[in-house]
Structure 1
Amino acid sequence: MYRPFLLVALRRPRLWPALLSGAWAFRSKDWYRKAPFLPLPSKAYMRWRLETAYGEPDAVPPADEIARFVTWSAEMRRRMRPDRRVPLAVKLLLIVGLAAFMVWVNLRAGDVEGALDAAAAAGYPGLFAVSVVSGFNVVWPVPVAWFYPFLIEAGFGPVPTLATIAVGMTGGDLLGYLIGNTTRNISSYRLARFRVRAEAWHARHRFLPLALLFLYAAFVPLPNELLVIPMAYMRYSMAAVMAAVLFGNVIFNTLMAMGVSLIFGAGG
């Protein structure tokens, strides 16, 4: 009964989100009471759907039709969700306020050492806050991982330190994504043609830019916003962009921490 869908999942991993979404949407109400205790459609429901579609309850739908159906149904469910978009004016106020706050933090810090001393005194929450500001590199061009030996000497653990820095920097990159997304919403009519071309390019190349973003964030010592903002403008998923940046930030900060530890020495 479920074998054709499992085969499609094995052969086309890109359909996993749509398949899982469909399984959850059509799950039995009491799936948690009966083996195999998985949120799947009941066999009776599956037989009824196959009979109405193919005339036979035991019909085996072709893989291409399964792929088209799960993709279409996932898109329909997405469109039917309530519109919970934040008003554009609120987005602008939040972004401007956050950017102004980061600038204020940078000016109040005075120097890098003072900010790091404050972060060390505040523990991991302080380190996270400094990393967020560092992630938005327009404000703070020096990566926090450059001071990894100082942080280790201050009592921070190696793994929690790198994890906190990577997550914090990704939070700073999130501001870049919001800027790109908001810029798209307020772009004038003159940019409409460019916006259409950007979205068409996104439709043709869904995964390659994300892979390039990951490599860029992992190995290029330049602001991630140079890629994050355009990708947000082209409507790449926030979750996908932030995931690529996060994993890239983990590698980048780990390599930098290892490098400065070899040069200056560290307790880690």
Structure 2
Amino acid sequence: MLLVETFTEEKNIFWCKKYSDASKTQPLPEKTASKEEREDFAVRNMLLVTVFEAAETRLEFLNRIEELSKKHQIESVFSLEVERPLPQPTVEDGRDAFSFESFTRRLEKLGVQGVAQEGDSQGTVPWLVAQDLSNAVAIKAHYDASNMAVVDLYEDFLTFIEQTKVGKTEAERKRIENVILPESDVSVPLSVLADVVRSVKTTYEMEHFPAPQILSWRDQWNVPKLSSLTNDIRLSQKTMFDVALDSKHSALENWGHLEDIDSLATNILPSAVFLL
């Protein structure tokens, strides 16, 4: 799976209900509420909103890939295998050879932006080779975009937290950094979330696939080169996934509640982390 299986649509529904229930038990602060109570209310709701927006972003990505898979018959779109057999041609796409220009047009149909080009390659390659490469590029590009969109959401939230802590005492900063949500006795330590956001962002940026690089393939339009590129892209994606997953597991180990079944079931931190 490209996304960790920990967060599923059922999990999203579960947290939607939790958020709804929490909202009903958390009326807006009274006019007499202290500044600290108002801050805590704002931080809790900003955290919940951020996590749900991240979940929505991931579900949109899954839906987009599923649509592409059905429309363009992309097989095993969630496989992280680096090398695998070429897909079988369809009647609709059963062409013997494919040029670079045809390849970039297919990428545009798959939703990959920024690959418009002038001129064409001198030669052609078998359709299956070009199709396999375009599938790998499209999935990687959409996954990269989804990753950075989620990172941006968390960074915006963490920036809000840093602004809230300005001018506060050490005790007040500690209170803000450890969010207590309804029905959970274990706080959400925002320092853990901040650490894993920084870690996975570095990984995503290192393995990011630059779409303009595609234009350089025009002069290398041959089967050995394209097959190598396809494997390199899938390897980059697998590396990115594995390293990011290690960072997420490490962050939750530092949290110290992985063995606590109740905390895992009622605390939003694990879902927040695995949505990254």
**Given the two structures, how large is their TM-score scaled by the length of structure 1?**
0.28
If each structure's helix is expressed as a fraction of its own residues, which one has the higher value? 1
Larger Rg: 1
